[in-house]
Structure 1
Amino acid sequence: MKRYLVFLSLLTWAFTTVTNAQLPPVFKQPIATGLKKDPRVRYYLPPERMIWRSDATGKYIQHADRLLKVGNGQAELVNKDLTVLKNDKSSKTGFLIDFGKEIFGGLQITTGLMRTKTPVKVRVRFGESVTEAMSDVGGTDGATNDHAMRDFIIELPWLGGLEVGNTGFRFVRIDLLEADTELLLKEVSAIFMYRDIPYLGSFHSDDERLNQIWATGAYTVHLNMQQYLWDGIKRDKLVWIGDMHPEMMVINSVFGYNEVVPMSLDLAKAATPLPAWMNGISSYSMWWVLIQRDWYLHQGDMKYLQLQRQYLIGLLKQLMTKIKDGKEALDGNRFLDWPSSENKPAIHAGLQAMLVMTLTAGSELCHILKEAETARACDEAVAILKKNVPDIAESKQAAALLALAGLLPAEQANTILSKDSTRGFSTFYGYYMLQAKAMAGDYQGAINNIRDYWGGMLDLGATTFWEDFDLSWKENAGRIDEIVPKDKVDVHATYGAYCYKNLRHSLAHGWAAGPTSWLTTHVLGIKVMAPGCKVVKIEPHLGDLKSVSGSFPTPFGLIKVNHLKMPDGKIKTTVDAPKQVKIIK
C-alpha cells in the first residue's frame, strides 16, 4: 500500500503541469495546472503509390501493392495479404512509397508472423522529395538529420508494430539490411499529426491556379501549427519570430484565433530577456512588436495585450536608443531575409524602414494601453527617422519595406519591384513585395506574380510552399515527386544557398504562405479597420478575374463575401457579416 501511495505521489508530481486532460479514473488525486494536453490529432494514412522497388521480378519483393491498402494497424495471427521482402547473400531489397501530400508525423509499421523471432533491421528514409528519400546523409546532396531524424536504422519486432518518425515528409524509402533475411509487412502507414481545426476562411475565384495557391499557403501554415508555430516541419522546427509574421497573417485569414500564436510569442519573450534580441536578430524583435499590433487588430484580445505591457515598453525604449543622427544603428544580427543578406546598404535601408514601422506600431499599442509618454517618444523618434531615406541599393526587399514605412512613394518602389518580373523575390519577403505593389495600386501585377512565382512551385510537384524559390529553377527541371531523369535538373538536390543548400532545403516553410493572406485582403477585399474586427472595409480588386467569393473569420463569426464583375466592368458585391461587425465599402 505504501508503495502504491508513493507511486501516486510521483504521478501527481509528474503531472503538476497538466490542464484539461481527461485522465483515467485511477488517477484519484487532484492534478495541478500548467502543462497543456497535446492539442494535435493523429490519422493513419496508407501510401497512394509505389514509386520504386529494387526488384520487379517477384523473387525478392512479393505483393508490394498490398501496402497500398487501408489497414487497421493491428498485427494478426494469420499471415494474410502480406508484402514479403527477402534478402539473400548478395541482394539488398528496398522500396519507395508516396503518401500523396506533404505531412508532418512519422510511420506505423506492422509486421506479420515471421519464421524467426529475431528483430529485423531496416533503414528508413523520409523525404520531402523523391530525391531526398533516396539520398544518404552527409553526401554531396546536402541531406541531413538536422532538427529531425529522417534517415536511421531501426529493428522491427516479430508479429507486432513500431511507430517512428517526427518530421515533415511525403515520401518514404524502406530497405531490408541484413543478408539471408525475410520481412513480412502487413502495413506501412503514415502517422499524420496536426491540429484538428476548421478552415473558416476561404477563397474561390474563376482562376483555379489562384485557388490552389491560396489553399496551399493555408495548408503550409497549418502543418507548422504544431506544439508551437514552427517555420518548417523538417528543418527549422523552431519558433523564429520574424518568420511568424506572414504565418500569423495567414492564421488570421484562415483559422481565426488560435492559441499557437500567443504561446509562440510568449515563448520567445520568456527566452529573450531585454536587452537581448529575439533569435539574436534585431529585426526579429521588431517583428514581435508588429505581430503584437496585427494580432490585436484582428483578435482584439485586450487581456493578452495588457500582459505585454512591461516587455513592450522596455523593448520600444531599447529600440529608440539605436538611433544615431537620425539613422538606425541596430546591433545584433542585422538581417532581413537570406537573398538580401550580402547587400549591406539594402539591409540598412530595410532596418531603417522597419524601425519606422515598429515604432509606429508601438505608438498605436501604447495609446491603447494608455502609455502616453512612451507613445509620444515613439512618434518623435519616427519623425526623426523619416528625415533620412536610405538608398534602395537595387533591392526589392528594401524597396518594399521603404514603401510600407511611408519613406518612399509606393509607385516609385513598384518600378523596382516590377523590374524583371519576380527576379529577386524571396518566399519570405515576397509577401511584403506584394503588399507594396498593392499600395501602388498594381493589383494585377501582384496577381501575375503570385501565379508565376508561387504557382511555379506547384508546377514542380509541390503540395506545400518552399523555404526559397526562383523561377529560373523551372528551366529543364524534373518534378520533386518523380525520380528525376538524367537529362533533367534535380531541383531539390541542385539549388538552394546559405543555410538551405540542396536537400537541406525545407519544402514546407510557413514564411512562404503570404499570398493566402494577400489574396484575402486585396482580391477578396477584406481589410480589418478596428481592433477585434469591429470595423471591416470591403474593397475588392479583381484584376482580370470575373468572380471571387470567400469567407473571413472574426471573433464574432464569419464574414461571407461574393463579388461578380458585371459586363460594364463594375463589381456587384454581396456581404453577410455578424451584426457586431460594421461593414464599410
Structure 2
Amino acid sequence: MSSRGHLDRNVNSKVPTLLETPVFRAGFFFLILYIIVLASHPNLDFVVDLSRSSLRALQSAPSTLLALSGSGWAKTQTKTIQYQDYVLAPASRTLHPVSVYKVNGTVSGAQSLVMGSLGSAVFHNKSALTLDYGKNIAGVVSLLIGDASAAMQGIGITFSESSLWISGLGSDATAESGIDEILWIRPTSPGTYTVSREHERGAFRYLSLVHNSSGALEVKEVTTYFTAMPHYGEDQLRSYTGYFHCDDELINRIWYAGAYTNQLCTIDAKHGNSYVHLDTVTSLMSGDSVPGRTWYNNFTITNGTSALVDGAKRDRLVFSADMVTALPGIVTSTYDLITVKNSLDSLFALQDTSTGQLPYVGSGYPLMYSATYHLYTLIVLADYYLYSGDIAYVHGLWEQYKLALNFSLRSIDDSGLMDVNSPHDWLRFGMGGHNIEANAILYHTLHRAIELANALKDPSMVQTWQAHATGIKLAANALLWDPVQGMYRDNETASSLMPQDGNVWAVLSNLTASASQIESISAHLAGRWTAFGAPAPEAGDAICPFVAGLELRAHLVAGNAQHAVDLVRKMWGYMLEGPSMTNSTLVEGYAVDGSLRYKPYSNDAKISHAHGWSTGPTSVLTFQIAGIQLLEAAGKTWRIEPSLGDLRRVEAGFATVVGRFKVDAARGYGTVWMKISFETPLGTKGSLSVEHPECKGLVEVQNVCGYGEQTKSIPITKKRSTRERIAVNDLEGGIWHVVVLCNE
C-alpha cells in the first residue's frame, strides 16, 4: 500500500484547525443561510432539524472503503450503519433457538435448550420437540448429548422454514414431490454430534428433534453454525454498507428482510444443491407415494468462495432472473459484488461458444435454453458494470456478450419481433411465439448493450442494435397493444391474456409508444390487486414476487409512487407477517387468496421462504422512493429523485467504489412543501428531480459542502400533469439542501 493509505506522521505535516474542517465550514455556512432564509420564511423552523439530522447521519453512517484491486474486490468495513437494530443478520455464527414452539409426548426440561444456556432436556420414550430460532436461518446443526438410559437410541432432526411444514417424519421439501428425509444422530456416548457439512440446511426457522424409541435420552444443547455469507468474517455479517428508514415501521422491516434474504441466498460455492432426485422424483408423483428423500448440499456451482443463488433452501443454483432483482438489493445493503461476479462467471462459462447460447440455469442442472433467462444474464452484466464501474471485467466478456445478443437477434422474424421457441421462463405458462415479455426484455437488453458499447468505445454493432430496437418497438405496438384493454396482449394467439410480466417490462424498457399507455398499464395493474398482492395471470392464480417487484418500478415510472408504496405494504407486508411466513425473509410465491400454494408447483412443501427474486423493495425503496439513482459507472453521474407517496420522511444511503450516496427527504408544513438533504461523492456530477407540488412556488437548492455553484433558485408554475417533475441539472458532488416552497 502506498503511503497515501496511511495517516501522515511527519512532524511537518499540517493539521487542520477546527475552523478549517469541512464540517465546521458546512455548519457555519448553513447557520448563516438559516438566518437569511428564516428572515424571509418564518415557517422554516424545520431547517435546523434537517441540518442536525444530516450531521448525525454523517457521523453515524458506515465508514467503508471499497477498492478494485488486481485480485478482485477488496472490502474493509470499519463502522456499522445507523438503524442497525433492524438488521436481521446474526452477530455470531453460533446460533441458539430462542423459544420452544411445540412439545409432543414427554420432554422434560425442554425450555432449558433456548437462549444459549447449557441445559438438560430429557426425551422420554416416543417424543418430539420443535425449537424456534425466531427467524429464518441457515447452517449446520450440532447436538450436545448427555446421558442415555439405554444404548442404540437416536435423535432425528427435521427442518422447516414455515410452521406449516413442521413434521416428525421429515423436513419441508427440496424435490418435486414428497418431503426431505429426517437426519438421524445415533450417539454412542455423551458428547457433541454434528451433522455432515453436506447436510447443512439452507434455510429453516423451526428445528424438530424426534426420539422414536423407548428409554430416555438427554440433550444438553442445540446449536447451528450459520453458513450463509461464507466469505464474510463473523464480525462483518451485520456491517451493511447501506441503510433505509422511513416513518412506516412495516416498510422499514420489509427493506431489511429483503437485505437479509439476499444474505441467506449467498452460499458457499461448494454447497449447492446436488439434485440427486432430479430425474427420479417428479411433479406427477403424489406426496404419499414418495417417502422422505435423501438430500445433499455438496455440489460446487461456481468458482470462488461464495455464490448468489435463487433460494436459500432450494434450488441453491445460479439463475440470472433472480440476480436481476437480488443484485440491486445487494448494492443498496451489503455491496457484495464479489459474489455477483462469481455467479456471472459461472453462467458465461457454460455459454455455447459456437452459437452464443447461454444457460437457463448455472452448473448443477441440465443445460437448456430460455429466451428470457439468456437475456437476463446480459442485463445482469450491464447492471454489474453500472454498480461497480468495473469496465475491465465487462471488456473481458464483451465478445461473449455480443455473441449471445446476436443469438437472440437471429430469432427475430419478418414481423420484427423475436419468435420465442423455448417454453422455459420463470415458470409462467404459455411462453412462446411473439411473446410481449420476451420482446420487451430484448428491447431493454439492446439499449443496455448500446450503453456498454459506448462505455467500451466499440461502435461496431450500435447501428444494427438500434435498428432492431426500433423494429421491435414498432411491431410490438402494432401487433400486441390492445387499446380496449389498455394493456399488451401476451401474444397474437392469447388475445384475452394481459400478462403482468410483459406489461411491466414494456413500461420498464420504454417499449410503450406514449405516456398514456404507461399510465393505462399502471392503472390496470393496480386494479387487479387482491388483498394479498399483485396477481400474475400468466401463471394461473399465482402471485409472483419476482414480477411484482418489477411492477413496483413500473408504477414509479408512471408517476404513481402511491401505487408502489401501497403494494409494498399490502403484498410484502403479508409476505413478512402473514400466517406461516417466517417474519424475517421473503417467500418465493403463493396464491391470490394468500394460501401457501404456488401454481407452478405441485408440491407446496417445496416453496422457498427465502428467495432472492422476492427482494425487489430493498432496491426500489432506495433507488426510486428515496430516489438515489446511479446513472453511470458506480455513480460517477447520478440523479436524486425522491418519490415518497404518502410517506412523510425517507432516509437512505449506500456506498460504491466512487463514494457515499445519501438522501433525507421529508414533507414539510404550511408553505414548505418538501425538504431534501442529499450527499454525493466529490468529483461526481448529477441532477435533482423533485415532485411537482400542487402550487406555484420556488425551489431553493444550496450547496453546503462541495464545489460548484452554491445556490440555485428555480421558480415553479402550477402542476400540469401527474408525471410532471421539477428538474435541476448540472449539480456537482457534495452536500446539498433543497427546499420546495409554495407561495400561494
TM-score for the superposition, normalised by structure 2: 0.65
Count of matched residue positions in the alignment of Structure 1 and Structure 2: 506
* In structure 1, C-alpha distance between the alignment counterparts of 2:310 and 2:412, rounded to whole Å: 30
Query: Which residue of 2 is the match for residue 200 of structure 1?
Result: 241
Amino acid at match of 1:454: W
> Residue 84 in 1 paired to residue 122 in 2?
yes
Cα gap change, 1:257 to 1:63, in 2 (>3 Å): closer
Cα pair 1:213 1:455 within 8 Å, conserved: yes
* In structure 1, C-alpha distance between the alignment counterparts of 2:589 and 2:571, rounded to whole Å: 11
CA shift, 1:148, in A, is: 10
Query: Which residue of 1 is the match for residue 504 of structure 2?
Result: 400
Query: Which residue of 2 is the match for residue 570 of structure 1?
Result: 673
Per-residue deviation, residues 37-56 of structure 1 (Å, max 9, x unmatched): xxx9971211111111123x
* In structure 2, C-alpha distance between the alignment counterparts of 1:540 and 1:412, rounded to whole Å: 23
Cα gap change, 1:270 to 1:192, in 2 (>3 Å): same
Identity of aligned residues (%): 25
> Residue 171 in 1 paired to residue 252 in 2?
no
Which of 521, 527, 548 pairs up with 1:413? 521
Per-residue deviation, residues 537-561 of structure 1 (Å, max 9, x unmatched): 1111111111111212221332222
Within 5 Å, which residues of 2 pair with 1:182-221? 182-195=216-229, 196=232, 197=236, 198-221=239-262
CA shift, 1:145, in A, is: 9.0
Cα pair 2:173 2:180 within 8 Å, conserved: no
> Residue 468 in 1 paired to residue 589 in 2?
yes
* In structure 2, C-alpha distance between the alignment counterparts of 1:67 and 1:45, rounded to whole Å: 12
Which deviates more from structure 2 when the two are superposed, residues 361-370 or residues 146-155? 146-155
Q: Which has the higher relative contact order, 1 or 2, with Cα contacts under 8 A spaced 6 or more apart? A: 1
Query: Which residue of 2 is the match for residue 281 of structure 1?
Result: 370
Within 5 Å, which residues of 2 pair with 1:544-563? 544-563=646-665
Query: Which residue of 2 is the match for residue 158 of structure 1?
Result: 189
CA shift, 1:469, in A, is: 3.0
Within 5 Å, which residues of 2 pair with 1:112-511? 112-114=146-148, 118-134=151-167, 136=169, 144=175, 151-164=182-195, 165-167=199-201, 168-179=203-214, 181-195=215-229, 196=232, 197=236, 198-226=239-267, 227-274=306-353, 275=355, 276-279=357-360, 280-325=369-414, 326-335=416-425, 337-338=426-427, 340-342=428-430, 348-389=435-476, 390-391=480-481, 392-393=488-489, 394-408=498-512, 409-421=517-529, 422-424=534-536, 425-460=543-578, 461=581, 462-470=583-591, 472-473=593-594, 491-492=595-596, 495-499=597-601, 501-511=603-613
* In structure 2, C-alpha distance between the alignment counterparts of 1:47 and 1:145, rounded to whole Å: 29
Amino acid at match of 1:202: Y
* In structure 2, C-alpha distance between the alignment counterparts of 1:46 and 1:272, rounded to whole Å: 43
Q: For structure 2, which runs of at least 5 residues remain unmatched after alignment? A: 1-70, 73-89, 268-305, 361-368, 482-487, 490-497, 537-542, 689-744
Per-residue deviation, residues 516-540 of structure 1 (Å, max 9, x unmatched): 1011111111011221211221111
CA shift, 1:573, in A, is: 1.1
> Residue 46 in 1 paired to residue 92 in 2?
no
* In structure 2, C-alpha distance between the alignment counterparts of 1:446 and 1:569, rounded to whole Å: 25
Cα pair 1:143 1:502 within 8 Å, conserved: no
Which of 114, 137, 148 pairs up with 1:68? 114
Amino acid at match of 1:178: S
Cα gap change, 1:46 to 1:582, in 2 (>3 Å): same
CA shift, 1:379, in A, is: 1.4
Amino acid at match of 1:505: I
CA shift, 1:97, in A, is: 0.7
Cα pair 1:200 1:558 within 8 Å, conserved: no
Which deviates more from structure 2 when the two are superposed, residues 506-515 or residues 196-205? 196-205
Cα gap change, 1:277 to 1:143, in 2 (>3 Å): closer
Cα pair 1:108 1:163 within 8 Å, conserved: yes
Which of 573, 581, 585 pairs up with 2:684? 581
Query: Which residue of 2 is the match for residue 517 of structure 1?
Result: 619
Cα pair 2:545 2:613 within 8 Å, conserved: yes
Cα pair 1:146 1:235 within 8 Å, conserved: no
Cα pair 1:84 1:184 within 8 Å, conserved: yes
CA shift, 1:147, in A, is: 13
CA shift, 1:106, in A, is: 2.7
Cα pair 1:124 1:152 within 8 Å, conserved: yes
SS at match of 1:161: strand
Amino acid at match of 2:676: T
Per-residue deviation, residues 296-329 of structure 1 (Å, max 9, x unmatched): 1111001111111121111122121111010102
Cα gap change, 1:169 to 1:404, in 2 (>3 Å): same
SS at match of 2:653: strand
CA shift, 1:135, in A, is: 6.1
SS at match of 2:469: helix
* In structure 2, C-alpha distance between the alignment counterparts of 1:260 and 1:143, rounded to whole Å: 23
SS at match of 1:441: coil
* In structure 2, C-alpha distance between the alignment counterparts of 1:352 and 1:296, rounded to whole Å: 23
Cα pair 2:420 2:431 within 8 Å, conserved: no
Query: Which residue of 2 is the match for residue 95 of structure 1?
Result: 129
Cα pair 1:542 1:548 within 8 Å, conserved: yes
SS at match of 1:327: coil
Q: For structure 1, which runs of at least 5 residues remain unmatched after alignment? A: 1-18, 21-39, 73-80, 474-490
* In structure 2, C-alpha distance between the alignment counterparts of 1:569 and 1:513, rounded to whole Å: 34
CA shift, 1:398, in A, is: 1.3
SS at match of 1:51: strand
Per-residue deviation, residues 83-130 of structure 1 (Å, max 9, x unmatched): 11121xxxx1111110000011131111114455x4532221100012
CA shift, 1:449, in A, is: 0.8
Which deviates more from structure 2 when the two are superposed, residues 241-250 or residues 192-201? 192-201
Which deviates more from structure 2 when the two are superposed, residues 221-230 or residues 368-377? 368-377
Cα gap change, 1:143 to 1:309, in 2 (>3 Å): closer
Cα gap change, 1:569 to 1:468, in 2 (>3 Å): farther
* In structure 1, C-alpha distance between the alignment counterparts of 2:348 and 2:673, rounded to whole Å: 48
Q: CA RMSD of the aligned region, Å?
A: 2.5
Cα gap change, 1:154 to 1:272, in 2 (>3 Å): farther
Amino acid at match of 1:222: Q
Cα pair 1:241 1:278 within 8 Å, conserved: no
Per-residue deviation, residues 471-519 of structure 1 (Å, max 9, x unmatched): 521xxxxxxxxxxxxxxxxx44xx2222363111111111000011011
CA shift, 1:378, in A, is: 1.3
Cα pair 1:277 1:332 within 8 Å, conserved: no
Query: Which residue of 2 is the match for residue 483 of structure 1?
Result: none
